[in-house]
Structure 1
Amino acid sequence: MRVLHVITGLGIGGAEQQLRLLLRHLPVQGRVVTLTNPGAVAAGIEADGTPVTHLGMTGNRDLGALPRLARVVRQGRYDLVHTHLYRACVYGRAAARIAGVRRIVATEHSLGAHQIEGRPLSAGTRALYLASERLGTSTVAVSPSVARRLADWGVSEARIRVVPNGIETGRFAFDPDARRRTRAALGLPEDAYVVGGVGRLAPGKRFDLLVRAVAAVPEARLLLVGEGGEREGLLRLARRLGAADRVLLTGACEDPPPAGSTGPSLPGLLAAMDVFVSASPDEAFGLAVVEALAAGLPVLYAACPAIEDLPADAAPGARRTGGSVPELAAALRGTGESPPGRLPVPEAARHYDIARSARRLMSLYDQAVHGTPSPVEHHRASVK
C-alpha cells in the first residue's frame, strides 16, 4: 500500500514526532509532504527511511500550494492520503480529491475544548474544518475526548475513529545511570528535588504557573524541556520571583534523538526528574504525561484525556491538581516529602504503546483501501 502523509510542518512538536513514530511501525510505503518548516523532525523521518518533500507554502492563504500538492499526489499514485494538523487537513483533503484520490484519512491531533493547535476556536475555523472534513473518508481522533469534541462540532459519528497517540514504552524505562549522567550534564545536584515539565513554551501550556509554584517551594528546582515564544518571559518571571538559579530551560528535545546525538535524550531528561507536572488546562491527549508515567514518575496534571479516558486504576501515580499556584505548590511539597524512588510502570503507559496504535491505524487503512479491516479490533468512537 502506498500512503502519502501531509502535515503542516515538521519542527519539534507532539503531532510531528507522533507521525515519525507511526512511520517507524506502519508496514506501508510512501512519502511525507510538509507544507512548511522542514525542521528537525523532517531530518529524523528521512534518516528513518521515508522521503520528505517541502511544499514551500508561504501562509494560510497561499492558494498556489493546492495545485502543487495535487501534483505530488497524482505523480505518486498513492492509494491513500493521510493528513495531520489543521492547515494540512484543509489543503490535503482538497488536493487529494483534485488528484483523484478518494481514500483520505485525517488525524485530529490538537483539538482542545477551547482551542485548536494552541489558537482560540472561532466560527470561521469550525466552518472551514467541517467543509473540508466532508471531502475525506474518515477522521481519526487521538482520544475519546477529542472524538466527543468532533461530534459536538458536527462531524458525523459514523466517520470518527479513535486511534490514540502512542509511545515506544520500553524506551522510557528508568535508568539510574542515565539519571546521574543527565544531572551531571545539566549541573543538577544528585540530591536535588527536581520538578519537570515537557512541551511547547506557549501560553496555553501554563508553564508560568509551574514557575510560580516552584518559586514558592524553596527546596525545589524546575527542569523545563521545550522551546517556544514564552521562553524569555518565563526566564524573566523566574528572575522577578528570585528563583532564576532554580529554573533550567533545556530547549527542545527531538525524540527519538538523531543518530550521533550526544545531548540528553528525552528518557534521560525524565530520569533526571522527581515529579512531572502538566499544568495545561486544555489538552487533546497528554502525550508527555504518558511518557512520564512510563518513566515511573509521579505525575500532577490539570487536564489529561489520556488518563481521564481510562479506568481510575490505570495510572495510580497520576493525580489531578487545581489550577492555582497555592494548590500546585502544596502538591509539590507533598510529593517532595514522599520517599524517593520510581513507581511501577502503570497500565496506562502500556495501553498507549505505539505498536498498538499503528495496528489500529493499519486496520483503518485496510478498510478504506480494500473494504476489509485488518484482523484487529476496529475502533469506532464512543461519543455519547
Structure 2
Amino acid sequence: MTRVLHIITGLEYGGAERQLALLLRHMPKDVVECEVAVLTRGGTLAEGIRAEGIPVHEIGMRSNRDVKALPRLVRLIRWGRYDVVHTHLYRACVFGRVAARLAGTPYIIATEHSLGDGHIEGRRTTAGVRMLYRATEQLGDATVAVSPTVARRLRDWGLRPERLVTITNGIDPAAFAFVPESRAATRRALGIAPDEFVVGTTGRLVPGKRVDALIKAFARAKRDGRLLVVGAGPARPALEELAERVGVGGRTVFAGDTGDVAGMLAAMDAYAAPSTQETFGLGVLEALASGLPVLYATCPALDDLPPRMAPGARKLPARLAAWSSAIDSLPQVPLPGAPHGPPPPAVEHYSVHARVHQLIDLYHDGPAAVRPVSDGVLIAKTRAAT
C-alpha cells in the first residue's frame, strides 16, 4: 500500500481542483491510500472528497507569504509518514516541496496544471516567479505536465526534460452523459424555461477566462436566449455589472459554485470557452462528453489531437464579432428536444482510467515509469503497455 498526500492551494471550483477530486474518486483504495492537505481552506469540493472517505486537512494559510503555515505542513507530513507527497498549483508546489523535503518524504512530485503563455494561475510569470518555481522544483523528484503544451513551456523555463512527465488530465465520460431529467430539473431550479435557448460556460471567474468577452459577444448576438455562467471567483461582481451595462443582465444567469457540473451542462444548448490562455481545456471536454456543440478559443487538449476527434467543437479567433456571429449560427433546438448528441472520440481518448494507472506507475516506480517520445517530452507509460 502506497500512502500519498496531495497538497493543493484550495478546493473551490476550478479545473485543477476538480481534476484532483476526479483522480481521488477513481484511485483504487487497495493500492493507493490518499489524503489531502489544502493550504487555505476547504471549499465546495472538500466535502465531496471527505464523503469518499478521504481525509482533508486544512492548513489555514492566510496569504501567499504566510510562512507560519510551513511548520504546520511539515508536522502533518511527518505525522502521516507518507510515501509520496504530490503537489498541485503554484503556491502548493512551492510550499509543499519545501515542507516535504524538510519532513524527509522519500518521493516528491508535482503536477503543473496552470502554466499559460506569460502567466501562471492568473499572475504574470515574472523573473521572480520563475526563479522561485525553478528553485523549489529542484527539491522534488518529478514534475507532471497536464498537456504537451505545458511540458514545452516548462522546458522553455529551463526545467530539465528528464525531470518532466506528461500525464494529461482525464475525464469520466459516464459522469457527464446527458440526462433529460437532469436538464429539466436544473432549468427549473435556475428559472430557465424549457424552450429557451441557453449558451453556457463553466470555470473559475477570473479575468483570464474572458467571461467578459463572452458577455459582450452574447449582447451583440441577434438571437434570443439565456447566457448561463457557472462558477465562482473574484470577477463575479464586475461581470454582473457588465451584463447589466450591456443590456443582458436579465438574460444572464450566474449560477455560482456547484457540485453538479453535469446538471448545468445538461441545461445548456451550447458551450462557450472564450479563454485564450488554457493549459488543457477540461471544461471543453466535459461539454463534449455531455454531447454539446462547443465554441472555444484555445484548448490544448483538442489542439494536440487530429480535428476528426472532436467534430462538434469549433475554434474561433478572439474577436468579439466572430463570437457573436458564431452564437447566432448555433443550431436552433427543436422543441422539446436538446442538441445533446453522442460524445466525440476525443472524450474517450482522455478517459480518467488510463491517467490513474499512469499515476500509480509513477508513485510505485518513480522516474523509471517514464519513457521518451519523439518530441523529447516524457510521458508516463501504463502497466497495460509494459
Q: Is the 8 A contact 1:46 1:52 kept in 2?
A: yes
Aligned pairs, number: 369
SS of corresponding position for 2:330: helix
Residues 14-33 of structure 1 aligned to structure 2 (within 5 Å): 14-27=15-28, 28-33=32-37
Aligned to 2:192: 188
Aligned to 1:289: 284
Identity of matched residues, %: 51
Q: Structure 2 residue aligned with 1:205, among 203, 209, 215? A: 209
The runs of 5 or more residues in structure 1 that have no matched partner are 255-264
Aligned to 1:142: 146
Tell me, yes or no, if structure 1 residue 7 matches structure 2 residue 8: yes
2 CA distance for matches of 1:244 and 1:8? 33
Tell me, yes or no, if structure 1 residue 310 matches structure 2 residue 315: no
Q: Is the 8 A contact 2:269 2:333 kept in 1?
A: no
SS of corresponding position for 2:277: coil
SS of corresponding position for 1:348: helix
Q: Structure 2 residue aligned with 1:352, among 350, 353, 371? A: 350
- Alignment deviations for residues 346-367 of structure 1 (CA, whole Å, 9 cap, x no partner): 1111112222211111111111
- Range 185-194 or range 320-329, more displaced: 185-194
SS of corresponding position for 1:250: strand
SS of corresponding position for 2:283: helix
SS of corresponding position for 2:91: helix
Report deviation, 1:305. Answer: 0.6
Aligned to 1:221: 226
SS of corresponding position for 2:264: helix
The runs of 5 or more residues in structure 2 that have no matched partner are 378-386
Quick one: structure 1 residues 113 and 372, their matched pair in 2 at CA, closer, same or farther if it must change by over 3 Å? closer
Q: Is the 8 A contact 1:9 1:35 kept in 2?
A: yes
Q: Is the 8 A contact 1:178 1:271 kept in 2?
A: yes
Q: Structure 2 residue aligned with 1:55, among 59, 75, 90? A: 59
Partner letter of residue 272 of structure 1?
A
Q: Is the 8 A contact 1:163 1:379 kept in 2?
A: no
Partner letter of residue 25 of structure 1?
H
- Alignment deviations for residues 97-134 of structure 1 (CA, whole Å, 9 cap, x no partner): 11112311100011111211111111100000000111
Q: Is the 8 A contact 1:114 1:282 kept in 2?
A: no
1 CA distance for matches of 2:80 and 2:283? 35
Q: Is the 8 A contact 1:74 1:99 kept in 2?
A: yes
- Range 179-188 or range 162-171, more displaced: 179-188
Partner letter of residue 58 of structure 1?
R
1 CA distance for matches of 2:76 and 2:346? 39
SS of corresponding position for 2:117: coil
- Alignment deviations for residues 200-236 of structure 1 (CA, whole Å, 9 cap, x no partner): 1111111111111111224132011011122222222
TM-score after normalising by structure 2: 0.91
Q: Is the 8 A contact 1:226 1:250 kept in 2?
A: yes
Quick one: structure 1 residues 104 and 63, their matched pair in 2 at CA, closer, same or farther if it must change by over 3 Å? same
SS of corresponding position for 1:336: coil
Q: Is the 8 A contact 2:197 2:333 kept in 1?
A: no
Residues 82-121 of structure 1 aligned to structure 2 (within 5 Å): 82-121=86-125
Partner letter of residue 355 of structure 1?
H
Report deviation, 1:381. Answer: 9.0
Tell me, yes or no, if structure 1 residue 366 matches structure 2 residue 364: yes
Partner letter of residue 5 of structure 1?
H
Report deviation, 1:68. Answer: 2.2
TM-score after normalising by structure 1: 0.91
Q: Is the 8 A contact 1:102 1:137 kept in 2?
A: no
- Alignment deviations for residues 34-81 of structure 1 (CA, whole Å, 9 cap, x no partner): 111222222221111111111122222222322222222122111111
